[in-house]
Structure 1
Amino acid sequence: MATDTRPTPAELHALDLQERVVAGLRASGYDGVATALEPMLGGHSGLTYKLAVDDQWFVVKAVPPGQRSIGRHDMLRQARIMAALAGTDVPVPRICATDEVEPAWFAMELVAGESLEPVLDDPAVEPALAAARMLRAAEILPRLHRLPLDGLPVDGEPLTPGDELARWSRTMGAVPPELVPGAAELERLLAASVPEAVAPVLVHGDYRLGNILSRGTEPAALIDWEIWSPGDPRVELGWFLVFADGDNFPGVGRHVPGLPSVEELVSRYAAGGPAPRELTWFDALGRFKMAAIMGHNLRRHREGRHHDPDQERLPATIARLIETGTARLG
């Protein structure tokens, strides 16, 4: 029987993308011999590759075939915010080329560094280095929150704490209750005590060491700007604090001795000033959000939509996050 040697749709897409990226980089002044696109591990909202032109390496993020630059697939929105942050004291990769023709893509410089979540990722980070990176990240976060919004490509209304709760309640509501035991009670407690919003700032949306490329203890670049928005800075800080304790992740994480306490991280963030008000609510919201995301991923696995046996390790963590979030508000 003859073998079908025709390229698959995925191979055709990669070949087309290769040509477009090389042409786009050359139009932006990066000329020379280009390597083939190499797939990189990353999030699920787009395709991520790396390639070199002569000795210059780039990361390319592209909209998947058949999709458009809308919502979580909006690569160009990520490029716009990173381009706007160039020249500020928030470290981001340099945007080198963009292409708005669908499926859209952008290329940025490849920044050397480690993006490892000490309590979750492998390889494990040496505890003293992990602690130093976490403290430094707490010190860098206010730089993001001090930037004037009127100089940024803001494309929506600021998200209030109530908006954030509604957003993750929708995610949680799509998860079968048996996968997220106790979530309804935590959601009820959160809804009963939603804080008033403070002045909106730029919120990255997933600020943590896993999205910071570090060289030694110093943050070299903040990456993965998929869900940035104007919003309440305490939402960001509460999310960051979820990852300060490996005991939040039984079955999937690790205990890292010597990590900074919540009080130490908040003190570094506040730079000696008063701690943000009502932070306990935002800490609980961060736990609710993570439980909703993990519940969503576990549901997709069990439904066969994204087979990943590692998802079966999540139930203990989901339960712990909901229990501790509820305890903080109880």
Structure 2
Amino acid sequence: MSTATQVSELAARVRGALARRHPGAPVGELRPLPGGHSGLTYSVSAGEAAYVIKAVPPGQRPVGRNDVLRQARVLGALARTAVPVPGVATVDESQPAWFAMDFAAGEAVEPVLDEPEVPAATARARMLQIASVLRRLHETDVGTPGLDAPEPLDAAGELNRWSRTLHAVPSELRPGGEELLKRLADDVPDGLPPVLLHGDFRLGNVLCVGERAVAVVDWEIWSVGDPRIDLGWFLLFADHRNFPQLGRAVPGLPTEAELLDAYGGGGPALPAMDWFRALGRMKMAAIMGHNLRRHREGKHHDPDQERLPPTIAAMIRTARDILG
């Protein structure tokens, strides 16, 4: 069966399910929604309602980032919590699986990296607000039905996983990488009780209207584990100097210390945060190095990847500086 036929059959299934949900209302065509990093993502209307459809790509297995049913489960588990997420409207487990969630209006813009530019005061307010959203996410009961994550992520496991990725990057693209990995491995901190993790928590994955966060999206890599894994990643995006040749200066963005205060809500500081700040930088260096290597090997043509070497080097250098 051709890919076009499979997509057409998916569209028929989606439109049929939404027609049953909205009897008598016109159901629009599926329109590809840009910005998704896994699976197939569409927008579709049914009468006055608007939905986003996430589906397994034709011919691919529903695992990892393509496991859309797992994404639907975490959204369902968070539906009655203080974490803003889109509501799940319909789930179809027959293959290829898909689900429909409410279309949340808003913009998800990373202030130092993305277009369009966001007013500095708005960017600051958003970043401080989502720090408290992250705290509420981490306060979610991990025993909630649907949060059947595998073995919790801990510091050692994250370090091992991303060390392998960084080692696969040519050595000339990761100057100082070996020393950074050794210093991280020499001082792995004790773990904290596991919490629900988003896996890629930042403003680029939170829809906002004005200064208000309305929906945390892109749940492909959620898990359960040490809260500082999410935090160390989130803090990366507060400073354009972490992204040479990629980032722009945004006056007045919160400092990492301010974001940690907003996350903590006046509570005690989390231990060993410098180690997790360095870990986040190492992970970014590994991801960027992996993407650049794939481009240079002809596996994924994207000339824009050639802008990454200064940022990869900066991530490694500043991670080493953080560790002292």
- Return the TM-score normalized by structure 1: 0.95
1:112 corresponds to which residue? 105
Question: Displacement, 1:14?
Answer: 2.2
CA distance in 2, matches of 1:145, 1:264: 18
Alignment of 1:14-163 (within 5 A): 14-29=7-22, 32-153=25-146, 154-163=148-157
Query: Aligned residue for 2:240?
Result: 246
Number of corresponding residues: 323
Describe the shift of the 1:29–1:313 C-alpha distance in structure 2 as closer, same or farther (beyond 3 A).
same
Deviation at 1:29, TM superposition (A): 4.6
Residue number among 247, 253, 257 corresponding to 2:251 in the alignment: 257
TM-score (norm 2): 0.96
Aligned-partner Cα distance in 1 for 2:256–2:264: 12
Q: What do you get for the CA RMSD once the two structures are aligned?
A: 1.4
CA distance in 2, matches of 1:194, 1:118: 31
Contact 1:25 1:31 in 2 (8 A): no
Shift of 1:300: 1.3
Change (3 A) 1:14 1:73: same
Q: Which amino acid aligns with 1:164?
A: E
Calculate percent identity across the aligned residue pairs. 55
Residue 28 of structure 1 deviates from its aligned partner by: 4.0
Report the equivalent of 1:196: 190
Q: Distance in 2 between matches of 1:30 and 1:174?
A: 53
Give yes or no for contact 2:30–2:42 (8 Å, CA) kept in 1. Answer: yes
2:203 to 209, 217, 220: 209
Quote the Cα distance in structure 1 between the aligned partners of 2:178 and 2:22.
Answer: 55
Specify the code of the residue in structure 2 equivalent to 1:271: G
Distance of 2:107 and 2:12 partners within structure 1: 30
Paired residue secondary structure (1:202): strand
Aligned partner of 2:295 in structure 1 is 301
SS at match of 1:60: strand
- Structure 2 unmatched ranges of 5 or more: none
CA deviation string 1:127-171 (max 9, x = no partner):
111001001011111111111111142231211111111121122
Equivalent residue of 1:149, what SS? coil
The C-alpha deviation readout for 1:219-256, integer Å capped at 9, x for no partner, is 10000011111100011111100001011001111111
Q: Which amino acid aligns with 1:23?
A: G
> Residue 289 of structure 1 aligns with which residue?
283
Q: CA deviation at 1:11?
A: 2.3
